[in-house]
Structure 1
Amino acid sequence: MGLFGRRRRQDDADEDFEDAESYEDDDEYEVIGGDLFDGAGPWDEEDAPEDGLNRIDLGSVRLPVPEGAQLQVEMDPAGPVKAVHVVLPVGQLTVTAYAAPRSGGLWREVSTELAEQLRADGATVRSTTGEWGLELLAALGDMSLRFVGVDGPRWMLRGVVAGPPDRLDNSAAALYELVRGTIVVRGTQPMPVRTPLPIELPPAIAEHIQQAQEDGPA
């Protein structure tokens, strides 16, 4: 199997968005890329490199958590883990893997729906063509959001960073770095398309959360 995420561009990506414009015309945007992207991930489990990079194992994804980052666990009221957020001074980063068709192309569908939903919520949305293809940049209140997506073998990986507008370039670099080093563990179990792949917490974190829930509010 080949690598996924290596400089795959979609020249017509902007056509899906009526108010799309290139970031190259934005004075606050700086292209972040170059040789760092060559041979980078995200990786399918079967293609995962032996690079010695420390990653936190969350079951469906293995994330290279940056030094000094904090982890925030978002629990579903029903019990399962909904998301694990990586919090840095530049913003909050979230990487989620979904079941996808073998034919790929799920990110393009999802990004169109995501842009429509963001606009319905009052956000200004723009699109660009980045290192993995289509990216979205949204402005909502005093927060800027950047979304990237990668279609892999029977999975799709979505990454998002939310942070202050004056940290736009730094938050983009942090998101790219996290996505580049992520390993996706799809598994063999059949799952409906768009189903989030399950997140499993490391035992130490799970025990800490369980203890906090048992202790209740201070």
Structure 2
Amino acid sequence: MGEAGDVARSVVAQFRRDGFVAPESAERTEFEVWDRTTPGRVLLVALQTLLMLRAEDGRSDLGRPVRGLDEEEAGLMLRTLLGDATAVPETSRRDLITLDRLLGLLASVIAEESMSEEEVDALLEAAEESCRAVGPWDESDDRRPLGGELVDLGGLLVPTEPGLKIELMSSREDGSIVGVTVIRGRTAIQLQAFRALGDTSWATVREDLARTIRGRGGSAEERFGPAGTELQAVVRVQGPPGKDRQTARVLGHDGPGWILRGFVSGVGAEPDSTEEWPYATFQGTVVRPPSAPSADDPLIRLRWPESGV
């Protein structure tokens, strides 16, 4: 088990022993940091795994109360963790998914399943490995899965399959390729990669972007999705009254020295959408940082594929 899994194990043991989250456990967990493998992410995936296994056996409810949660709140959390998109807005509005509540649920399920320490360790180890096996990927990462068709755009290698349409985005200033849009039906995801300069991260980009969207009359709220922390937003666009707003989801991921951003629009960006392919496209994308990057331009430029699009 790696460092994140070891910390997750010690946090679970401390909570089960004391019945509360100690300050040092809360600090070590790094809860709500979802775009890398943290102990908090390991704990979340471990709980989701247990809940899904129970649901497969036809057990979607808890057999015992959870400290700090009434029956309705526990039900909302369970539905959200099991992927019920209709429960997400209310769960987010009430800020129900906190470290102490998540640990309360996890400890309750562990007790209800009469899991041994060895079984808990195996669960956390599997959860940690699952966290590590999810993209987007750096080209040098030997853990990325092989197979599947990728369109080579230079700075990005993007998954493709029948039914997907790919359009490249050009800069108005110099005509260089600055991004790619993948389209299926009435949903699209726009992908752009940037070098992470200084203290720049998806967290800082996300905060700046949310502030900009709100400053222009739109709305933006953080939520947890299949690709980690994302923004559910409504942005102002040019158009007549009633058609001057666009719903969007903004995904992001921190790689080694780069950030990949995905801007989902159309039907798949709606709060109740269950479309999975934009996330699969985002998480299957491979980033190829330039060998000689520009000193003052963080954008990772792309190129036309040799085989066309």
Decide: shared fold, TM above 0.5.
yes
- Cα deviation 1:167-214 (Å, max 9, x = unaligned): 84234x2221012211110133244477110111113438xxxxxxxx
User: What is the distance in 1 between the residues matched to 2:213 and 2:163?
Assistant: 31
Match of 1:58 among 144, 149, 153: 153
Higher strand share: 1
Partners of 2:232 and 2:271 within 8 A in 1: no
1:144 aligns with 2:238: no
Q: Does 1:42 align with 2:136?
A: yes
Post-superposition Cα deviations, 1:114-169, rounded to whole Å, max 9, x if no partner, equal 11111123222110234554210102455321111111111111112011365842
User: Residue 72 of structure 1: which of 150, 167, 185 is its match?
Assistant: 167
- Which residue number in structure 1 is paired with residue 189 of structure 2? 93
Q: Deviations over 1:1-30 (max 9, x none)?
A: xxx9665568xxxxxxxxxxx9x5973649
Identical columns (%)? 25
Q: Rate the CA distance shift 1:100–1:118 in 2: closer, same or farther, 3 A.
A: same
Distance change (3 Å), C-alpha of 1:69 and 1:37 = farther
From the superposition, tell whether residues 88 and 36 of structure 1 become closer, same or farther in structure 2 (CA, over 3 Å): farther
Asked if 1 retains the 8 angstrom alpha-carbon contact of 2:154 and 2:302, the reply is yes
Q: 1:175 to 1:125 in 2, by over 3 A?
A: same
Counting only pairs closer than 5 Å after superposition, residues 47-196 of structure 1 correspond to structure 2 as 47-48=141-142, 49=144, 51-77=146-172, 78-101=174-197, 106-140=201-235, 143-164=246-267, 168-171=272-275, 173-192=276-295, 195-196=298-299
Contact 2:36 / 2:254 at 8 angstroms: preserved in 1? no
Greater gyration radius: 2
For normalisation by structure 2, the TM-score amounts to 0.52
* 2:188–2:266 Cα contact (<8 Å) kept: yes
Structure with the bigger percentage of helix: 2
Aligned-residue offset at 1:90:
4.3
* Counterpart secondary structure, 2:290: coil
Structure having greater relative contact order (Cα 8 Å, sep ≥ 6): 1
Residues 149 and 161, structure 2, Cα contact 8 Å, conserved in 1: no
1:105 CA displacement: 5.1
Q: Given residue 198 of structure 1, which amino acid in structure 2 is its aligned partner?
A: R
C-alpha displacement of 1:92: 1.1
| Distance in 1 of aligned mates of 2:253 and 2:200 | 9
Judge conservation of contact 1:86–1:92 (CA < 8 Å) in 2. yes
Q: Which amino acid aligns with 1:118?
A: I
What displacement does 1:83 show?
A: 2.1
Structure 1: where are the runs of 5+ without partners?
A: 11-21, 207-218
| Aligned with residue 27 of structure 1, among 86, 107, 110 | 86
Write the distance in 1 (CA, Å) between the matches of 2:230 and 2:265: 14
Give the C-alpha shift of residue 113 in structure 1.
Answer: 1.0
**TM superposition score normalised by structure 1:** 0.71
Could you say what secondary structure the match of 2:263 adopts?
A: strand
Deviation at 1:76, TM superposition (A): 1.8
**Corresponding residue number in structure 1 for 2:24:** none
**How far apart, in 2, do the equivalents of 1:133 and 1:192 lie?**
30
Measured against aligned partners, the alpha-carbon deviations of 1:36-71 in whole angstroms (never above 9, x if no partner) come to 866121111111535211000111110102420112
Contiguous gaps of at least 5 residues in structure 2: 1-33, 42-76, 92-126, 236-243
Separation in 1 of the partners of 2:282 and 2:134?
A: 9
